Structure 1
Amino acid sequence: MAFTAADVKNLREMTGVGMMDCKKALVETDGDMDKAVEYLREKGLAKAAKKAGRIAAEGMSYVCVENGAAALVEVNCETDFCAKSDAFVAFVKDIAKTVLECNPADVDALMNCKYVGTDLTVAETMPEKVMSIGENLQIRRFVRVDTNTSVGYVHAGGKIGVLVNLAVEGGIDATEIGKNVAMQIAALNPRFWDKSQVSQEVLDEEKKVALALMDQDPKMASKPAQVKEKIVMGKMNKFYQENCLLQQEFVRGDLFTGSVEGYIADAAKKLGGSVKFVNAVRFATGEGIEKKQEDFAAEVAAQMNMGK
């Protein structure tokens, strides 16, 4: 019995299982919809689909650097307990390696890549991982870089992942420099990398706020406009120091006293070369995902009532 794309769509809507698995089920059952549903249930995929509706806001951000390329990935699960499990951590690391090897354009393209070490695609592997790990799993995002020198840093077991890209000259090893900069980014989460990235719109808004505050201050309101302007410019320098990575005070005061860009230049010079910050990416696991609010008292009460 032949089947159409509409049949695949209908089966997906009936079961919640992915398109590729629905298509395979219809192929295996010669297009019989009822048998295809039964096929998916027997494979455990329908159960995995049920888990797929649950909120996955925990998880892990992880950085993998190999052979001059680097990948930063975020994979989500439902609970912090799962995020720390060996099976989940291994899965996240495999996804990072798959990104490195396949170089997909986006998450959809990644799903069609061969899962590292197997002949199955990531999409084909996901239901089995959901079943074996026991929670909804979502590959949320990734970045891949294969230019310059990349250094990764993972904080608190994957709560934050940072990938720093540096232009290195002189044949020096800039790993420690990159890691220290990545730790700064993880800790302070700057809005901008450099003051040159701050738009005129942002500057105008900051100046507007600073002037308004001075006008509300009895001691400052009567001062001449040029004095206020000079004070505002001083506040802009403070704004850069608080919001721009390279202008921030370097947090590792035991290594260097001054700005981050000063630290990078000083550390590179001591190694006999030069290093310039190019770019960075910071993932905070679960940021922006609305987490389910658990009411444990209600949950226990519900379980006790079920037992009556």
Structure 2
Amino acid sequence: MANITAADVMKLRKMTSAGMMDCKNALIEADGDFQKAVDIIREKGKLVAAKRADRETSEGAVESRIHGNKGILVALGCETDFVARTEGFQALVQSIADVAIKEFPADTDALKACKMANGETVEKEIEVFTGKTGEKLSLVYYGRVEAPFIYTYLHKLTGKLGALVGFNKEVPEDLAKGIAMQVASMNPIGIYPEDCSQEILDREYKVAVEKTKEELVQKAIDAALNKAGINPSHVDSEAHIDSNTAKGWITPEQAEQARTIIKTVGEEKAASLPAPMVENIAKGRVQKFLKESTLTEQEYQMAGDKTIVKDAIAKVDKEAKVVDFKRISLSD
């Protein structure tokens, strides 16, 4: 059996960033062979990752980089805030961001395959750190922006929220920061209403139709209940009907009358809803959704009034436009 010294342990630790005991045990198992010891530590990381594959990684850190007309946004997730705050974890996030802006890969899989400064891939370094911490780590997000002018905002208080915004030209820093903060806080689904896919529009229209029908039916039921002298809020669920009957707020006869009204009026109203009216209301809801969910149509949070984002930008520079943005929040 090889004689494992403290210097050997430190050497392996520098090579892998693993814990002292993990390094010592790996060297003992490898009989002093450093390459085998490195492989053992890597395999341990894969094993831990496999065992904890179903764990959520809602903690972690977000980092960004900008170089010229290129910008990147990355998020490394872990299970606990304790691990996220360690120097090792933060250093790993920084290193991944450095690699991302240098290589500027097309997507997350390509970033995982990029080589770190020590020659190992991003994916393998994450596996090694997984073995070291005993927690699941995952590259939760990677996004990139190419634009003439780019600005980034990171929420330093939590370290779990970030945005990257590309403009068609340089704009004042206060405006760029304001728009980046807008993206981070308001989570728009696109820049312009026309950017929304048909799939999103169809989904929102379907939701709007169902919500409109439910509200119209409920409005008819409430009117019938009020006409019968029954407070609708006292009978809005079976649990409330039972509890309010027990409290004496409604009589058993009123409880049965309410059940009959809810059933009969609800069915009659649902069967007689005018389709054109439902469709018009639903279309209005979709337009409201687009106004609230697309960046240029949102109320600009930094304005303090009803000014929308596109008008706030035009007020500073009529030729300036947002051409792309990326956002990630580990808390969503």
State how 1:102-113 maps to structure 2 within 5 Å: 102-113=103-114
TM-score w.r.t. length of structure 2: 0.60
Inter-CA distance 211–145: structure 2 relative to 1 (3 Å threshold): closer
Inter-CA distance 48–260: structure 2 relative to 1 (3 Å threshold): same
1: CA distance, partners of 2:215 / 2:138 = 49
Give the alignment partner of residue 187 of structure 1, picking from 185, 188, 194. Answer: 185
The superposition leaves residues 246-266 of structure 1 with CA deviations (integer Å, 9 ceiling, x where unpaired) of 212112234x64111111211
Indicate the residue corresponding to 1:24 in structure 2: none
Give the alignment partner of residue 42 of structure 2, picking from 45, 61, 64. Answer: 45
Give the alignment partner of residue 299 of structure 2, picking from 249, 255, 275. Answer: 249
C-alpha displacement of 1:208: 2.6
2: CA distance, partners of 1:43 / 1:203 = 51
- Letter of the structure 2 residue corresponding to residue 201 of structure 1: D
The superposition leaves residues 62-86 of structure 1 with CA deviations (integer Å, 9 ceiling, x where unpaired) of 2111232111111122211111222
Contact persistence 2:144–2:326 (CA under 8 A): no
- Letter of the structure 2 residue corresponding to residue 167 of structure 1: N
TM-score w.r.t. length of structure 1: 0.64
C-alpha displacement of 1:202: 4.5
- Correspondence 1:154 to 2:154: yes
Indicate the residue corresponding to 1:266 in structure 2: 315
Inter-CA distance 50–181: structure 2 relative to 1 (3 Å threshold): same
Alignment length, in residue pairs? 244
SS of the residue 2:98 aligns to:
helix
C-alpha displacement of 1:179: 2.3
2: CA distance, partners of 1:211 / 1:132 = 53
Contact persistence 1:48–1:127 (CA under 8 A): yes
1: CA distance, partners of 2:113 / 2:124 = 9
Inter-CA distance 125–190: structure 2 relative to 1 (3 Å threshold): closer
Contact persistence 1:56–1:138 (CA under 8 A): no
> Structure 1, unaligned stretches of length 5 or more?
1-34, 288-308
Give the alignment partner of residue 176 of structure 2, picking from 175, 178, 196. Answer: 178
Indicate the residue corresponding to 2:139 in structure 1: 139
Indicate the residue corresponding to 2:88 in structure 1: 87
Contact persistence 1:75–1:138 (CA under 8 A): yes
Inter-CA distance 97–56: structure 2 relative to 1 (3 Å threshold): farther
Contact persistence 2:189–2:293 (CA under 8 A): yes
SS of the residue 2:323 aligns to:
strand
1: CA distance, partners of 2:204 / 2:84 = 41
> Structure 2, unaligned stretches of length 5 or more?
1-31, 224-268
Higher helix share: 2
- Letter of the structure 1 residue corresponding to residue 187 of structure 2: N
SS of the residue 1:275 aligns to:
coil
Contact persistence 1:60–1:76 (CA under 8 A): yes
Inter-CA distance 191–68: structure 2 relative to 1 (3 Å threshold): closer
C-alpha displacement of 1:42: 7.7
Inter-CA distance 41–152: structure 2 relative to 1 (3 Å threshold): closer
State how 1:159-308 maps to structure 2 within 5 Å: 159-168=160-169, 172-198=170-196, 199=198, 201-202=202-203, 204-205=205-206, 208-209=209-210, 211-213=212-214, 215-216=216-217, 217-218=219-220, 235-254=285-304, 257-268=306-317, 274-285=319-330
| Identical amino acids, percent of aligned pairs | 27
2: CA distance, partners of 1:125 / 1:206 = 44
2: CA distance, partners of 1:50 / 1:277 = 44
The superposition leaves residues 156-182 of structure 1 with CA deviations (integer Å, 9 ceiling, x where unpaired) of 4332222222212xxx43443232122
Inter-CA distance 154–127: structure 2 relative to 1 (3 Å threshold): same
Contact persistence 1:160–1:285 (CA under 8 A): yes
Indicate the residue corresponding to 1:115 in structure 2: 116
2: CA distance, partners of 1:266 / 1:165 = 18
2: CA distance, partners of 1:70 / 1:40 = 37
The superposition leaves residues 64-117 of structure 1 with CA deviations (integer Å, 9 ceiling, x where unpaired) of 11232111111122211111222211211110110111122333332332214x
275-284 or 99-108, which moves further after superposition?
Answer: 99-108
C-alpha displacement of 1:187: 1.9
